[in-house]
Amino acid sequence: MDIEVKKSGEFNYIDEGQGEIILILHGLFGALSNFESVVAGFKGDYRVIIPVMPIYDMPVKQAGLEGLQAFIERFVDFKSLDNMILLGNSLGGHVGLLYTLAHPEKVKSLVLTGSSGLFENTMGGSFPKRGSYSYIKERVEYTFYDPKTATKNLVDECFEVTSSIPKCMNILQIAKSAQRNNMAKEITNITAPTLLIWGLNDTITPPSVGHEFDRLIPNSELFFIDKCCHAPMMERPELFNKILKKYLTKLKANDLVNA
Domain assignments of the chain as residue spans, ordered by start: 6-120+181-258
**96: amino acid identity, one letter:** G
Asked whether the beta carbons of 223 and 197 are under 8 A apart, the reply is yes
Q: How confident is the model at residue 208 (pLDDT cuts 50, 70, 90)?
A: very high
Q: How confident is the model at residue 125 (pLDDT cuts 50, 70, 90)?
A: very low
Summarize the confidence of residues 191-195 as an average pLDDT: 97
Q: What is the model's pTM?
A: 0.92
The answer to whether the Cα torsion of 112, 116, 121, 127 is positive or negative is positive
For 17-73, write each residue's pLDDT tens digit. 999 999 999 998 877 788 999 999 999 999 999 999 999 888 888 899 999 999 999
At residue 45, what are phi and psi to the nearest 5 degrees?
Answer: -120, -10
For 212-259, write each residue's pLDDT tens digit. 999 999 999 999 999 999 999 999 999 999 999 999 999 988 877 776
Percent above pLDDT 90 for the chain: 66
Assigned architecture for domain 6-120+181-258:
3-Layer(aba) Sandwich (3.40)
Compute the chain's Rg from CA coordinates.
Answer: 17
Apex CA 42: angle with CA 37 and CA 46, to 5°? 145
Contacts 24+ apart (CB under 8 A), 156-162: 157/29, 157/31, 158/29, 159/133, 161/29, 161/56, 161/128, 162/128, 162/129, 162/130, 162/136
pLDDT, mean over the chain:
91
